[in-house]
Amino acid sequence: MVRVGIVGATGYAGAELVRILSGHPDVELTVLTSRQYAGEKFDKIYPSMAGIVDLSCEKLSIDSFCERTDVVFIALPHKVAMQLVPEFIKRDKKIIDLSADFRFKDVSLYESFYQEHTAADLLEKAVYGLCEIYFEKIKSATLIGNPGCYPTSVILPLVPLIKSNFLDVDSIIADSKSGVSGAGRSLSLTTHFCEVNESFKAYKVAVHRHNPEMEEVLSIEAGRPVNITFVP
């Protein structure tokens, strides 16, 4: 059994990860951390997990966390994981980061859409976590940067077409839709039910931070620059 701990287990991404891993036959969930819900039973926060996950959330103590885990999932906001990953690397843990902090090879791309990267020396070590394309690299990786939601939906269908020279890579339009859960669990007027029910709208057109992620991965696969007009 692989012992797995999740840092940030009570956000939407972290909670879904708990649900998936709790049913995996080769995984033992050993640690769930949450700053907001430390000390509370996970199934009290998410009653649907009653009788399935019998763990309490706790504050993150890296040494204690590492003593009980083989693999670390980090389900925290962008810009936070880069502070933690070097500590887990020092302790020889395998890390899967759900944020954008380790998705890019070109640090300048990351910094132009997020902030200064404080662990840029680890970007070359990280493997982009799209298993349908990078399966072999992922198997031996120590650090995996999981792809964003929009990039997953765009990259997967385009890579085989690009490799078969079926597309003009100078002009690709990605017209994408997502639900509001992708914005996270924190309260926001723009994601309230009454604001979004039975409607949708474009946002961050031409400046969305998933745009450079798509272009970098597709450019690597194509062997030349790929340009995407992305409308989320």
Would you give per-residue pLDDT tens digits along the chain (232 residues)?
999 999 999 999 999 999 999 999 999 999 999 999 999 999 999 999 999 999 999 999 999 999 999 999 999 999 999 999 999 999 999 999 999 999 999 999 999 999 999 999 999 999 999 999 999 999 999 999 999 999 999 999 999 999 999 988 998 999 998 877 666 666 677 777 777 777 787 888 888 999 999 999 999 999 999 999 998 9
> Rounded to an integer, what distance in angstroms lies between the CA atom of residue 150 and that of residue 143?
21
Q: State residue 201's pLDDT score.
A: 79
Q: State residue 102's pLDDT score.
A: 98
> Rounded to an integer, what distance in angstroms lies between the CA atom of residue 228 and that of residue 211?
7
- Same-domain status, 74 and 31: yes
Q: Where residue 198 sits, what CATH number does that domain have? A: 3.30.360.10
Helices (H) and strands (E) in the chain, counts: 9, 9
- Same-domain status, 55 and 22: yes
Domain stop point among 147, 164, 192: 147
Q: Where residue 35 sits, what CATH number does that domain have? A: 3.40.50.720
Q: State residue 186's pLDDT score.
A: 66
Domain stop point among 147, 167, 197: 147
- Same-domain status, 86 and 157: no
- Same-domain status, 6 and 61: yes
Domain that holds residue 205: 150-231
- Same-domain status, 159 and 180: yes
Q: State residue 177's pLDDT score.
A: 86
Strand ranges of the sheet holding 127-128, from the earlier edge strand across to the other edge: 57-58, 27-33, 2-7, 71-74, 94-97, 143-145, 127-128
Residue 110, both tokens: 């990351």
- Annotated catalytic, 194? no
Catalytic pick from 66, 131, 149, 194?
Answer: 149
Give the CA dihedral 46, 103, 221, 232, nearest 10 degrees.
60
Q: Could you tell me how far CA 114 lies from the centroid of its own chain?
A: 15
> Rounded to an integer, what distance in angstroms lies between the CA atom of residue 156 and that of residue 130?
8
Q: State residue 187's pLDDT score.
A: 63
- Same-domain status, 49 and 137: yes
215 neighbors 155 (Cβ within 8 angstroms): no
Q: What share of the chain is helix, strand, coil (3-state, %, to 5)?
A: 40, 15, 45
Q: State residue 184's pLDDT score.
A: 65
Indicate the residue type of 166: F
- Same-domain status, 129 and 36: yes
Domain stop point among 128, 147, 166: 147
- Same-domain status, 217 and 125: no
